[in-house]
A and B are shown apart, each in its own frame.
Chain A
Amino acid sequence: MFQKTLKLIFTQRKPLTPKLGMFFSVLGIALLILAYTALAYAETDTIPPMPRFPLVPKFDRLYEGLKLLVFLDPQSGDYIFWKDFLVSGPRLLIAVGGTSLLCVTVGIYMGLYDFLRRMCLPIMEIVEHIPANGMMIFFLALFHTSNPLFWGVMAFGICVGITKNVYLASKSVSDEHVFTAKTLGASEQEVTWYVVFPQIIPQIIEAVRQSISPAIVFLMGTEWIVGSDGIGHRFMQLNRSPRAFMTFPYVMALGLIGLFISYAFRKIQRVSCPWHENETPPDFVDRFLARMKNNIQTLMRHERKKETAS
């Protein structure tokens, strides 16, 4: 039995059983927590001027930080994380939303019209190699430290990625589809918006989802350097006096929000593109929710049986 399991684990491209798969998923997280705990308790070295703030704080200190940041700050009376999130979130939403609208349109047309592809590809090749934060000085001169500065840096950083992904998706729609639509009487615009666009919605959603992480990095960087509020600015303040016990919960809260955004995107993809369902297996959260639902239903059935029997 043990040997069989070992063989299953170490055979390439062999899917594990659901239970074994779950075991390894939990094992990864457990190892991470274990490593953190070991580090936290082993650490004796602290930063000399602030001995109260170890680099790897223990869990009780983390909880303290969590209370201070994510929950209520007793000094200011604000929910610090949410206050920052309400500043940075809309910045991110506007930049990613606006850039996506423009880049998706350009990307689709690039995949359909050769002149646009030839015009845009060289520009994209150049822009791709310029770090977005390097353009900050340009946006700073244009917009000073107002919101368009943050939108501009983020848009500059993610525009090539989205456009390229959408262009490749648009290009991958077969000539046969385009020609067939035309033989059926579709105009150029109908081919674009009724044939090509709907078919690449899953790739568009994926492209936008993938652009969120770099957008966050550019936003944090800009807020860190020139911002007077927002998550990046908070990081700058926290790092001025390295308070890891406050930074870690903050980062974890960000990670959880990122996880939620990813899940929301996958959900949107599944709901808006039912034909794509066969190609994307249900993710961990969906499987977990389905299993919970099943368990509750089984429990309820069991209870009902008991009641009728009694």
Chain B
Amino acid sequence: MSKRDIILRCEAMSRHFGPTKVLAPLDIEIEHGQIVGIVGSSGCGKSTLLNIIVGSLPPSAGRVLISTSGAEREVDGHGRDRGMVYQKYSLFTHLTAIQNVAFGPMVNETTIPGRAVGRVSGSWSHKRQEHLEKAEALLVRLGLGDALHRYPSQLSGGMQQRVAIARALIMEPQILLLDEPFGALDEETRGDARQILRDLRSKVTVLMITHSLEEAVSIGDRVIGLSKYWNWREQGHTSFPGATTVYDKACPVFAHADKDSAGSIMLQADELRAVVFPSKEEKEGTKDSVLDPKTYCQYWQQQGVSQ
């Protein structure tokens, strides 16, 4: 069986900051419309990986290819085909919720001189109205109809996060990158936010960093685990090459018939915990990890695809 519709491909992509190696050469392929959870201990390069994919950081070696507009092309800087929602919301503090969401269409569909001319000719106000109506519709859909004209400082953490997701979604990105999107949310709001993600399944490809393994397994179609603790010496490296993919499997929701089975979610989360997080000795450096990265990277075998 051949691989399905691949939207994102990392080819031997690595990243280091000066002498600090963060990511060892990674080969990752993501299918269109999937929700992929990315997990790992702190400092294992999860955010770096997302920043490379979104175009904020260039890879030190290798390349990232995306097929968002038919043909495959290499990522070179930011693009509206990839939306990003950061952990700290990153809403523009000087804009209201609706203005935040309408910001994307404004800068994407018009230019500074175009807006200046449009202000004089009157065409800008018409266009602006369109943007605001579109933003309003999206915010209402996300349950923020009452908060359209509030500034971020007047919104709760959950509301801010929903506005940030709406702002990314209004651009209709093909890949949505979420850096710990539920980090600061209470349990009730987390439920709402998870539902928003579930609604996106098969429409948008979502890569989501999360610290909650259960969350990654229950929402995602696939979970990728990154770790700094693997048997790099045995793999022929003389110095630490950076974190690598040590876990890559389909999730119970996606792979099994017993959808949302709490038991299978817990089982997979336990397996993930054991693989991705280091033992005390490994953490203290008294014992080298013997984990072979290939052992738990079975996603494509699970799909019946020969690598």
- Residues of A near any B CB (own CB < 8 A): 174-177, 179-187, 189-190, 193-195, 198-199, 201, 273-275, 278-279
Contacts and interface: CB of A to CB of B under 8 A. Distances in A.
A79 to B, nearest CB: 43
A179 B84 contact: yes
B108 interface: yes
Given A195-B92, A199-B94, A275-B94, A179 B54 contact: yes
Contacts of B84: 179-180, 183
Contacts of B168: 183
Given A190-B107, A199-B93, A180 B112 contact: no
Contacts of A177: 90, 92
A78 to B, nearest CB: 46
A275 B100 CA distance: 13
Contacts, number: 78
A193 B113 CA distance: 13
7 contacts: A177-B90, A179-B51, A181-B92, A183-B171, A187-B107, A190-B107, A275-B94
Across the A-B interface, the 9 shortest Cβ-Cβ residue pairs = A185-B108, A184-B104, A182-B78, A176-B90, A275-B151, A186-B107, A176-B86, A198-B94, A179-B56
Interface of B: 51, 54-56, 77-80, 82-84, 86, 88, 90, 92-95, 103-104, 107-108, 111-112, 151-154, 167-168, 171, 173
Given A181-B103, A182-B56, A184-B80, 17 more contacts: A174-B90, A177-B92, A179-B84, A183-B79, A183-B80, A183-B83, A183-B171, A184-B167, A184-B171, A185-B107, A190-B112, A193-B112, A195-B92, A198-B95, A273-B94, A274-B151, A279-B153
Contacts of B111: 187
A185 B56 contact: no
Contacts of B86: 176, 180
Contacts of A184: 80, 83, 103-104, 107-108, 167, 171
A179 B92 contact: no
A139 to B, nearest CB: 37
A194 B55 CA distance: 21
A134 to B, nearest CB: 40
Given A179-B54, A179-B56, A185 B104 contact: yes
A28 B272 CA distance: 66
A278 B154 CA distance: 9
Contacts of A181: 92, 103, 107
A198 B103 CA distance: 13
Contacts of A198: 92, 94-95
Contacts of A176: 86, 88, 90
